[in-house]
Amino acid sequence: MSGRKIVHVDCDCFYAAIEMRDDPRLARQPLAVGGSPDRRGVIATCNYEARAYGVRSAMSSRHALKLCPDLLIVKPRFDAYRAASREIHRIFRDYTERIEPLSLDEAYLDVSASPHFSGSATRIAADIRRRIWQELHITVSAGVAPNKFLAKIASDWRKPNGLFVITPGEVDAFVADLPVSKLHGVGKVTADKLGRLGIRNCAELREWDRLALVREFGSFGERLWQLARGIDERPVQVDSRRQSLSVEHTYDVDLPDLSACLERLPLLLEELDGRLERLDRSYRPDKPFVKVKFHDFTQTTLEQAGAGRDLDSYRLLLGAAFARGAKPVRLLGVGVRLIDLQDRHEQLELFAR
């Protein structure tokens, strides 16, 4: 296991959760986000009230309405979902830079070297869940394990709004009881073939040697042999595309008040401007933001859609951010969110207009 500590975070019915958060009238009734049933639309996601009727993502909207005649289907608001995703990743980055996004609402985090909570991945995951609820008012589920395969399984173990941990010492027994249908890469066809061979769980899969599995399943047989033993050496692949650009400075002596903070602002912005000039043209600067870490290590980040990137705009942001704590400051940061011009794929093909 090489001492790795992997956290898999998965938002609970993300799109629907954002819709219910922004319009509380939608809560506690069957809700789906997707395309119109009159135009061959597809369900992107739905809340748990809708799932009780059998509604699922990727299902046609028309079929979903047959299963649940009271289902309310709302159009997706990708701008709102991306904004929430950026905030979630901002929280992630407070714990580690080793983040592998899988989608807007799901990511792996390698916290093996994180100094937070004395290196406890369980406490890091719990704190991430707490902050996302407090700051974004949506719930997430998290799994903690020595590798990506098990962390992803763990995050689904106590959904919704759950946390499940698989320690290195628990891996062998946990995986032995695991149905083969839960293994990464095992779809319906492979699961059916395994069933015909009398293999229903990993304990039974372990009875097959490596060469026999390769004969039956080709190169995937090697992967099956490893997964049956809880082995997954895949690293967390850090996203190389930027979501923001910022500069920050930690001061040897705490800044006592807002006036002292404002005095430092021009130098920070000068450095930020220099970095923006060197930025790849595949990005476009968007919302400005400031970060303030107080002397007691509490911190806040504040951004403003539609605001300029001039000194006066950052002064207003810094004043509002400082007011959240009104304590001596040990770190100041200024930055700007970035629009990735290479990312044109909106996945809109899921939703017929």
DSSP codes joined into one string, 70-131: T-EEE---HHHHHHHHHHHHHHHHTT-S-EEEEETTEEEEE-TT--GGGG-HHHHHHHHHHH
Whether 140 and 153 have beta carbons less than 8 Å apart is answered as: no
The token pair at 313 is 């705009």
- Asked if the model's pLDDT at residue 213 lies above 80, the reply is yes
Contacts of 58 (CB under 8 A, 6+ apart): 42, 43
Decide the pairing of beta strands 329-340 and 283-294.
antiparallel
Name 247's bridge partners. Answer: 334
> Looking at residue 345, what is its pLDDT?
43
Burial class of residue 346 in the structure, from the number of CB atoms within 10 Å of its CB (0-12 exposed, 13-18 middle, 19+ buried): exposed
Residue 249 — very low, low, confident or very high, per pLDDT cuts 50/70/90? confident
- Find the range with the poorest average confidence among 48-57, 152-161, 344-353: 344-353
Residue 347 — very low, low, confident or very high, per pLDDT cuts 50/70/90? very low
In tens, the pLDDT along 134-176 reads: 999 999 999 999 999 999 999 999 999 999 999 999 999 999 9
d(CA 226, CA 220): 10
| 0.85 exceeded by pTM | no
Catalytic residue numbers read 106
Answer yes or no: CATH 3.30.43.10 is held by domain 171-227: no
The token pair at 322 is 């400082």
295 Cα distance to chain centroid = 29
Q: Please give the CATH number for the structural domain made up of 15-74.
A: 3.40.1170.60
Whether 61 and 41 have beta carbons less than 8 Å apart is answered as: yes
Whether 6 and 145 have beta carbons less than 8 Å apart is answered as: yes
Answer yes or no: CATH 2.40.110.10 is held by domain 244-340: no
Domain boundaries, the chain: 15-74, 171-227, 244-340
> Looking at residue 12, what is its pLDDT?
96
d(CA 288, CA 94): 18
Q: Is 156 annotated as a binding residue?
A: no
Q: Give DSSP secondary structure letters for 137-187.
A: ---EEEEEESSHHHHHHHHHHT-SS-EEE--GGGHHHHHHTSBGGGSTT--
What is the share, in percent, of the chain residues with pLDDT greater than 70?
A: 95
Q: Is 10 annotated as a binding residue?
A: yes
Strand ranges across the sheet with 283-294 = 244-255, 329-340, 283-294, 299-303
